[in-house]
Amino acid sequence: MPNSDTDFGVPIPGRILPPDQWAKTAIKRLPPPGPLDWPVLFGRDAPVVLDLGCGNGRFTITSALARPELNHLGVDILPLVLRYATRRANQRGLANVRLAAIGGYELLDQYVTPASIAEIHVYHPQPYQDTRQHHRRLITPEFLALVRQCLAPGGLVVLQTDNPAYWQYIRRAAPLLFDFEELTGPWPDAPQGRTRREIYARRRGLPIFRGQGRPKPQLPPERIAEIIRTQTAPDFDARRPNRGR
């Protein structure tokens, strides 16, 4: 079947298979809170990659195609975008993908066993410009500590935004918990963008800020608690001009 699926003209990778080869990637209803059993969820035991705020699923799908040996769970709070992600992943027969409607914080807090995840990706979390919505921003000291707690030793976190003020916040907070490096230049695996929002931002000439890190080894629990207690919440002005670099 021809693949007419694109993000701003950039094709979604993969081939649409005949219907008898489609996968079932939607988790229609999550179980009550408690540790998810990854081998049961995916039908096999493999390292798990999380995409928090996966939107239309472009990163999850691309990564699942390129790395069939990894299990991928994408989550988002918006059912509409998840429908796109699910259809695309199903049609590509991606048995190593699951998609669920839940917030990123809630997933980590309520469902993920500590030290069980290989990679956690967050691409373009909503900056929420309206001050009344600031409390909804995903990346907070508590969230970063949860990411750290869920990652296996040596696991990878990837954070990306096109909002300069959000990046300024992230680049201050993330290195407290992770050996964190800022990355420059396009992703080698996806020069036009790993996600729909990245492709859109590039088209608009917006700056893209990205970094990745691994949990700092030997950080005592008291130090992590202190970081959570003392670091400011992300209450920056998201409309501030470019001060992120």
List of residues contacting ligand SAM (CB under 6 A): 52-55, 75-78, 81, 103-105, 123-126, 138, 195-198
Nearer to ligand SAM, 101 or 219 (CB): 101
Smallest separation (angstroms) from ligand SAM to the CB of 100: 10
Query: CA–CA distance from 240 to each of 141, 168, 235 (Å)?
Result: 21, 11, 12
Closest residue to ligand SAM, based on beta-carbon distance: 55
Nearer to ligand SAM, 82 or 219 (CB): 82
Nearer to ligand SAM, 17 or 156 (CB): 156
Smallest separation (angstroms) from ligand SAM to the CB of 51: 7
Q: Up-side HSE of residue 181: CA atoms within 13 Å toward CB?
A: 4
Nearer to ligand SAM, 2 or 209 (CB): 209
Angular region, 208: left φ>0, alpha ψ -120 to 50, beta rest: beta
Residues 161-179: b if buried by 16+ CB within 10 A, e if exposed? bbbbbbbbbbbebbebbbe
Rounded Cα distance between 166 and 209, Å, is: 9
For residue 186, what is the DSSP state?
-
- The residue among 227, 219, 214, 74 whose CA lies nearest residue 158 is 214
Nearer to ligand SAM, 17 or 228 (CB): 228
Smallest separation (angstroms) from ligand SAM to the CB of 120: 12
Smallest separation (angstroms) from ligand SAM to the CB of 158: 11
Rounded Cα distance between 130 and 125, Å, is: 15
Rounded Cα distance between 71 and 60, Å, is: 10
**H-helix or E-strand containing 201?**
helix 196-203
Smallest separation (angstroms) from ligand SAM to the CB of 153: 25
Nearer to ligand SAM, 8 or 115 (CB): 8
Nearer to ligand SAM, 61 or 174 (CB): 61
Q: Is 203 in contact with 8 (CB distance < 8 Å)?
A: yes
Query: CA–CA distance from 218 to each of 153, 178, 221 (Å)?
Result: 11, 11, 9
Smallest separation (angstroms) from ligand SAM to the CB of 9: 15
Smallest separation (angstroms) from ligand SAM to the CB of 82: 8
